[in-house]
């Protein structure tokens, strides 16, 4: 569930941060969505072809939520710190740990609620074509993250000793040896 939230929220959060930083006078002329081919380095926000009015509305939405976001993030940090302190005690009290867990869960829920409601408000500003484009960009980002994760796992497996033989710890098992051993087990 947490990864789904990141997939949904992170592009919009990045978009909102760009609007806060971009000078208000900078405008971009709307272009045909079909004519624009996304490149691997191209800014996903630019691919949405936002008008100056849309940028202003999104900037206002993120500004309105700024103080609330800061407060919720602080609350979550404090709740996590309290949980860690309860866990680090010499003899952790289960009731205290449970209470700290509830506090962390409540802060996380508040954070997610704020992000989702902010996204809903931002989506209302986007045209249906821009929303479709946003969905495509998210799918692409998700696919890239999956590939990055897969490549990261491959790098970990490629390092020396990553797949040591469990019986003697001396050498990695070949895929064939591993499958033969699995078939021999009852």
Per-residue pLDDT at 56: 94
User: What gap in Å lies between CA 20 and CA 17, rounded to an integer?
Assistant: 5
Residue 183 in 3-state DSSP? helix
Place of tokens 């939230």: 5
- Paired residues of 24 in beta bridges: none
pLDDT band at 20 (very low <50, low <70, confident <90, very high): very low
Query: pLDDT (tens digit, 9 = 90+) per residue, 129-162?
Result: 999 999 999 899 999 999 998 888 777 766 665 5
User: What gap in Å lies between CA 41 and CA 56, rounded to an integer?
Assistant: 25
Name the nearest CA neighbour of 141 among 1, 2, 18, 12.
12
Residue 16 has pLDDT above 70, yes or no: no
Per-chain mean pLDDT for the chain: 76
pTM for this prediction: 0.55
Per-residue pLDDT at 152: 82
Per-residue pLDDT at 167: 53
Give CA separation, 1 vs 5, 6, 124, in Å: 6, 9, 24
Region 66-79 average pLDDT: 96
Residue 183 has pLDDT above 60, yes or no: no
Per-residue pLDDT at 153: 77
Give CA separation, 65 vs 14, 54, 73, 122, in Å: 15, 17, 12, 12
């Amino acid at each position: 569930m947490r990864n789904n939230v990141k997939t949904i929220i992170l592009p919009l959060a990045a978009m909102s941060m760009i609007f806060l930083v971009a000078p208000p006078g900078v405008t971009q002329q709307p272009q045909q969505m079909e004519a624009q081919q996304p490149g691997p380095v191209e800014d996903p926000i630019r691919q949405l072809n936002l008008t100056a009015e849309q940028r202003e509305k999104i900037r206002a939405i993120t500004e309105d939520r700024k103080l609330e976001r800061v407060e919720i993030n602080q609350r979550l940090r404090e709740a996590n710190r309290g949980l860690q302190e309860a866990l680090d005690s010499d003899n952790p009290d289960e009731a205290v740990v449970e209470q700290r867990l509830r506090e962390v869960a409540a802060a996380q829920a508040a954070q997610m609620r704020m992000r989702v409601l902010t996204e809903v408000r931002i989506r209302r500003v986007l045209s249906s074509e821009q929303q479709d484009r946003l969905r495509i960009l998210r799918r692409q980002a998700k696919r890239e993250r999956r590939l990055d994760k897969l490549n990261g796992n491959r790098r970990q497996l490629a390092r020396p000793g990553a797949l040591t033989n469990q019986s003697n710890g001396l050498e990695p098992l070949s895929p064939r040896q591993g499958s033969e051993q699995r078939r021999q087990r009852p």
